[in-house]
Amino acid sequence: MARRKKIYEGKAKILYEGPEPGTIVQYFKDDATAFNAEKRDVIDGKGVLNNRLSEFFMTGLNNVGIPTHFIRRLNMREQLVRSCEIIPLEVVVRNVAAGSLAKRLGLEEGSALPRPIVEYYYKDDKLGDPLVTEEHIAAFGWASQQDMDDILSLALRVNDFLSGVMIAVGIRLVDFKIEIGRVFDGDFQRLIVADEISPDSCRLWDAETGQKLDKDVFRRDLGDLADAYTEVARRLGVMPKNAAPITKPTLIN
């Protein structure tokens, strides 16, 4: 069997060279990290859930005309995606005050924002992904003005889509992070949604009880992360009904 070429290994995923030019295989690991990898653990089944959930969200976005890198799921932990040049920004959209915004501006977690707020963080783990403004982005050439217009529009469209999908299953989309990639079609470049969309990169609260169903369960030691993600997948109808429980190994005598 031939060994695949590993392109990159991050905190939660590994990227391998894909079977055709311009494609990448994205492998979802079970590793969970928070606070810039100061807190880490292995959560059995998280990779399988995030692979399925990211497939679900990205397919939905593709279907409503919001372009993403997703091509198809290959197996339990892998999906085939279009290779792209990642813009070095974490694009965060917020509907409700939480996390770093609540802390920075002294807002009560859970207070609704007057309108969705889009923020940009410079992707650099050594610096702890600092918040940046469009001035920094333009001055350092991370993205052009046209890119920024397109990124804002993509981010808000993704927010509308995800908010609708989530509220339909009783979940409030508090905030989320996306990454944007460039692809080249001949003389033209296009921006597409890349990386992943999963409870690792969103804040999801039960609309009735406020119960957290996202990575804050891990960050703040609130319970079993796989159970929370399984609940999101169950509500969305993502996991096949009769699938074997993925968090427990099967013992065969």
Task: Point out which residues bind ligand UDP (CB under 6 A).
Answer: 90, 92, 98-101, 129, 175-177, 201-203, 215
Nearest approach, Cβ of residue 32 and ligand UDP (Å): 12
Q: Which amino acid is at 111?
A: S
Of the candidates 65, 28, 70, 64, the one whose C-alpha atom is nearest the C-alpha of residue 49 is 28
In the bound state with ligand UDP, the residue whose beta carbon lies nearer, of 99 and 116, is 99
The rounded distance, in Å, linking the Cα atoms of 50 and 27 is: 10
Q: Which two tokens stand for residue 118?
A: 């889009």
Angle between helices 225-236 and 46-63 (to 10 degrees): 30
Nearest approach, Cβ of residue 245 and ligand UDP (Å): 26
How many Cα atoms occupy the beta-carbon half-sphere of 209 within 13 Å?
A: 4
Nearest approach, Cβ of residue 4 and ligand UDP (Å): 26
In the bound state with ligand UDP, the residue whose beta carbon lies nearer, of 19 and 128, is 128
In the bound state with ligand UDP, the residue whose beta carbon lies nearer, of 127 and 243, is 127
CA angle 56, 57, 62 (to 5 degrees): 100
In the bound state with ligand UDP, the residue whose beta carbon lies nearer, of 55 and 200, is 200
Nearest approach, Cβ of residue 98 and ligand UDP (Å): 6
Nearest approach, Cβ of residue 100 and ligand UDP (Å): 3
Nearest approach, Cβ of residue 184 and ligand UDP (Å): 27
The rounded distance, in Å, linking the Cα atoms of 42 and 28 is: 12
Nearest approach, Cβ of residue 203 and ligand UDP (Å): 4
Of the candidates 218, 240, 221, the one whose C-alpha atom is nearest the C-alpha of residue 229 is 218
Q: Which amino acid is at 103?
A: K
In the bound state with ligand UDP, the residue whose beta carbon lies nearer, of 17 and 122, is 122
In the bound state with ligand UDP, the residue whose beta carbon lies nearer, of 18 and 171, is 171
In the bound state with ligand UDP, the residue whose beta carbon lies nearer, of 90 and 147, is 90
Contact 52, 74 (CB under 8 A): no
DSSP 169: T
Taking CB atoms, the residue at the shortest distance from ligand UDP is 99
Contact 69, 181 (CB under 8 A): yes
Q: For 227-230, which contacts have Cβ atoms below 8 Å and span 24 or more sequence positions?
A: 228/199, 229/45, 229/46, 229/49, 229/50, 229/53, 229/198, 229/199, 230/45, 230/49
